[in-house]
Amino acid sequence: MMLARKWWLSLRCRLGVARWLAVVAFITILNVASLTSAQPQEANATGGQRWAVILVGLPGDESHADLFRETADAWQTWLTESLDLPREQVLRLPRRTQENDAAAPALTSDAIRTAITKLNQKLKPNDSLWVFTLGHGNYDGKQAWFHLAGKDPSAEDFGRWFSEVRCREQVIWLTQSNAGWFVKPLSRPGRIVIAATAADDESNETEFPHALATVIQSPAAMLDTDQDEKVSVAELFTAVVREVARRFQNDKRLPTEHAQLDDNVDGQGTEDLDPTTKPTPAKLDGALAKKTFVPLKKKEQAVP
């Protein structure tokens, strides 16, 4: 300690006051930078906001109206209670009204386009956006459609509506029949697109949305297959695919849907992901989904 003190005093005498102060300032800056870089960074250190949109199409009959309401309720409850999303930033269209309220306005293409336009004005580059569709769809040999009141929107319409969304995290869950045809128009760098069906003749009513409603009620520990104490989008997708398969097997039915996940911007999804294999080459589907995590609240993140 004495030698170090003598060295500092000697250096101060040789440099003079002005140069000495400059040296002290420089060393201070180095120390602050070192301490800052050593601090652990939070997962959401970017300060971005999380948003979600639930789009519920025409049910077709009262039994499906009840089923869609129950499934959308499960999604909304999960997003607002289990996940770290503010209630006011989870948008549901059409808005949830009274139980069995037949007078509630049905969702239209204009309503979706307007909502996405307004939301895009609020979204910041560091924000996160998850979108869910629920309903029926068809493919007429040229176009795929999502069934709404009035004119049905096509896959290309969805592609245009979401083309200007630029936030850092985008996860789109398309759960209606013939959803696979929507993957290519919606495929963008940095975006995960999930469809309940392949881009094929898969027009039957889908199990995927209701399987998702079941899976999200599972404890985080059951979904965390790689045991990293987090649940990735890849892990959640794989769990839903397995739940869909279980439902078909239990009912002794041949599978009529093959879910797809696209995150490598080729517009072609993959059904069979191994969420425990890391890292996945960027050219293959699943690389981004394995690095994108379900924003569980802290109490849900604890793995017993």
- pLDDT (tens digit per residue) in 222-232: 999 999 999 99
The residues with which 296 forms a beta bridge, in sequence order, are 83
Extents of the domains making up the chain: 50-301
H or E stretch including 53?
strand 50-56
Confidence of residue 277 (pLDDT cuts 50, 70, 90): confident
- Residue 129 Cα distances to 153, 246, 291, angstroms: 21, 30, 15
Give the range among 40-44, 93-97, 124-128, 250-254 with minimum mean pLDDT: 40-44
Measure the CA–CA gap between 7 and 103, rounded to whole angstroms. Answer: 85
Class of domain 50-301 (CATH, top level): alpha beta
* pLDDT, average across residues 147-172: 97
Once rounded to an integer, what is the mean pLDDT over residues 245-258?
97
Q: What are the C-alpha distances in Å from 4 to residues 7, 8, 9, 10, 281? A: 5, 6, 9, 10, 52
The backbone torsions φ and ψ at residue 53, rounded to the nearest 5 degrees and listed phi first, read -130, 130
Q: Which amino acid is at 85?
A: L
260-287 burial: b if 16+ Cβ within 10 Å, else e: bbbbbbeeebbeebebeeeebeeeebbb
- Alpha carbons within 13 A on the beta-carbon side of 65: 16
> 187-196, 258-267, 278-287: which has the minimum mean pLDDT?
278-287
What DSSP line would sit under 166-225, residue for residue?
Answer: --SEEEEEE-STTGGGGHHHH--TTEEEEESS-SSS--SPPSHHHHHHHHTTS-HHHH-T
- Mean pLDDT of all residues belonging to the chain: 85
Overall average pLDDT of the 11-34 stretch: 40
Residue 281's pLDDT is 84
For residue 242, what pLDDT is reported? 98
Contact 85/52 with Cβ under 8 angstroms?
A: yes
- What is residue 274's predicted lDDT score, i.e. its pLDDT? 85
Taking residue 59's Cβ as centre, other Cβ atoms within 10 Å add up to: 18
Between residues 31 and 259, which one has the greater pLDDT? 259
Cα torsion angle, 54, 58, 64, 65, sign: positive
pLDDT at 134: 98
Angstrom CA distances, 69 to 179, 278, 291, 296, stand at: 20, 37, 31, 23
Of residues 13 and 124, the one with the higher pLDDT is: 124
> For 61-74, what is the mean pLDDT?
96
In angstroms, the CA 129 to CA 52 distance is 6
Query: What was the pLDDT predicted at 298?
Result: 75
Cβ-contact 136, 57 below 8 angstroms: yes
What is the predicted pLDDT for the residue at 24?
37
Work out the pLDDT band at 292, boundaries 50, 70, 90: very high
Is residue 11's pLDDT more than 60?
A: no
166-174 mean pLDDT: 97
Task: Please state, for a pLDDT cut of 70, what percent of the chain lies above it.
Answer: 80
**pLDDT bracket for residue 289 (50, 70, 90):** very high
What is the band of 280 on the pLDDT scale with cuts at 50, 70, 90? confident
Amino acid letter at 190?
Answer: G
Q: Where are the alpha helices (DSSP H) in the chain?
A: 2-38, 62-77, 109-122, 155-161, 183-186, 208-215, 220-223, 233-250, 287-291, 298-301
CA distances from 91 to 28, 86, 118, 181, 189 (A): 48, 10, 12, 25, 24
Confidence of residue 1 (pLDDT cuts 50, 70, 90): very low
> Mean pLDDT, to the nearest integer, of 53-69?
96
For the segment 267-271, the average pLDDT, to the nearest whole number, is 95
Helix segments in 39-102, DSSP class H: 62-77
Query: 55 has which bridge partners?
Result: 93, 133
Backbone angles phi, psi at 50, to 5 degrees: -105, 135
Model confidence band, residue 283 (pLDDT cutoffs 50, 70, 90): confident
pLDDT (average), residues 119-134: 97
Place 279 in a pLDDT band, splitting at 50, 70 and 90. confident
